[in-house]
Structure 1
Amino acid sequence: MSTEADKPTVLIVGAGLGGLMLGALLEKADISYVILSAPHMSSPSTPDSCSSRVGSTIMVGPNLMALFEQMNIDEEFKAIGKPTLDCIIGKDDMDVVCKVDFRHTVEYYIVGRPALYELLLRQISPHKSGVEISTTDKSTYDGDILVGADGAYSAVRQRMYETLKATGSLPKSDQEHLPFKSTCLVGQTKPLDFAADFPEFLDESGPFYCTLSKTSPYTWTVFPTINGNLCWVVMHHLDKASSKAPEEHRIRESENSQWGSHAAQAMCDETRHLILRFGTKKAILGDLYDLTPQDRISKVMLEEKAFQT
Structure 2
Amino acid sequence: MPRGQKSKLRAREKRRQAQEEQGDLSPQEGTSMGTTAAAASEETSDVGTSFQEGGSRSSQNPPVTEPFRRGPIDEKVVMMVHYMLYKYEMKEPISKGDMLRNVIQMYKNHFHEILRRASEYLELIFGLDLKEVDPNRHIYVLVNKLETTYDGMPGGEGSIPKTGLLMTVLGVIFTKGNCASEAEVWEVLNMMGIYDGRRHFIYGEPRKLITQDLVQENYLEYRQVAGSDPPCYEFLWGPRAHAETSKMKVLEFLAKIHDTTPSAFPVWYQEALKDEEERSQARAAARARNAARADARAKAKGSNSSRHFNKF
TM-score range, shorter chain: under 0.3
- Scaled by the length of structure 1, what TM-score is found? 0.26
Q: Greater helix share, 1 or 2?
A: 2
Greater radius of gyration (CA): 2
Is the strand fraction higher in 1 or 2?
1
**Bigger RCO (CA 8 Å, 6+ sep):** 1
